[in-house]
Amino acid sequence: MMKIALFPKVDKETSKRIAKGVIDFLTERNVMVVTDDETAEVFNLPPLSSIDFKELQFIISMGGDGTILRLLHTYEKFDIPIIGINVGHLGFMADIPVPDIYPSLTDLLEGSYEIENRMMLSAVLKDQTNFALNDVVIHRSGNPNLVELAIKVDGKHINTFEADGIIVATPNGSTAYSLAAGGPILTPQLEAVALTPICPHTISNRPIVLMPHHEIQIQYLTTGRALDVVYDGILQGQMEAGETLQIKKHKKMLRIVRLGRHDYFATLRTKLGWVGKLR
């Protein structure tokens, strides 16, 4: 029997109704559905803690891209392909819209899908290691002025610049904060790292894309208040003057389910409002 973990949104009746429909659809097709312990009673499902995680074939996230990120950080040890059903605005990872749920689930059960590996980052600060799927962001936080950051790659100095901070993004995260700060769009199957300064004082400081095997060192040079270090917009740490953050490719990859009926570039055009016409 196939086993799937479903993580639905239960804060709205519409979301609960959609989740109940997904549960009924799967159970009628001999799929065992489990959910997190806090939600299990709401849908009369077995709790996640009652099974061995290794028995799960898929995880279904219902929400948006942020929901997938929170899920990833909550269940860090999961190494299970994730499917994203979007019950709000169309997402890049959660790209199954509500009208397309059941055809998409049918494709899944019939084996009509591919698994894409998405690169993640590992970051070390103060001997504490965190990870990020989208980005690691260093921001000036409570400092009233720009801060000075020295950037090295494998120990070789790239530049020292004054800015509000810097974004270190994966291809998966290139369409998030990095894009808003003027960074490049990288297709998510790539393995690369984009360094995007946030409002640099010198406009010649431009984003740069690196190969994934490099180790990046970012040192906080300014004598001032602690900087915020944020992982995927979820986990937050503090970086004191003189400290160095080290970032490299994480040994683990996110596995995400890609269905043939969903096109990344169509999602890109929709999300970014591109209006160019085919000729």
Catalytic annotation present for 127: no
Residue 216 has pLDDT above 90, yes or no: yes
CA atoms within 13 A on the CB side of 49: 5
User: What's the rounded Cα separation, in Å, for the pair 203 and 136?
Assistant: 22
Catalytic one among 65, 95, 135, 232?
65
State pTM to two decimals. 0.93
Residue 273 has pLDDT above 90, yes or no: no
The reply to whether 78 falls in a domain is yes
Residue 217 belongs to what domain range?
121-249
Output b/e per residue, 177-197; b: 16+ Cβ within 10 A.
bbbebebbebebebebbbbbb
Asked if 222 and 258 sit in the same domain, the reply is no
Q: What is the CATH number of the domain that holds 214?
A: 2.60.200.30
pLDDT at 265: 85
Asked if 77 and 141 sit in the same domain, the reply is no
User: 24-56 pLDDT, tens per residue?
Assistant: 999 999 999 999 999 999 999 999 999 998 899
Q: What are 170's two structure tokens?
A: 């994966």
Give the phi and the psi of residue 7 in degrees, each rounded to 5.
-120, 90
Asked if 239 and 126 sit in the same domain, the reply is yes
Q: What are 9's two structure tokens?
A: 């949104």
User: 11-25 pLDDT, tens per residue?
Assistant: 888 889 999 999 999
Asked if 27 and 111 sit in the same domain, the reply is yes
Asked if 105 and 48 sit in the same domain, the reply is yes
Average pLDDT for residues 150-154, to the nearest whole number?
A: 97
Please give the tally of structural domains in the chain: 2
Asked if 49 and 158 sit in the same domain, the reply is no
The reply to whether 185 falls in a domain is yes
Q: What is the CATH number of the domain that holds 55?
A: 3.40.50.10330
Asked if 131 and 242 sit in the same domain, the reply is yes
Asked if 187 and 114 sit in the same domain, the reply is no
Name the residue among 97, 84, 91 with its Cα closest to residue 58: 84
pLDDT at 278: 65
Asked if 137 and 235 sit in the same domain, the reply is yes
Give the phi and the psi of residue 271 in degrees, each rounded to 5.
-65, -40
User: What's the rounded Cα separation, in Å, for the pair 81 and 3?
Assistant: 12
Entry field: residues in the chain: 279
Asked if 79 and 131 sit in the same domain, the reply is no
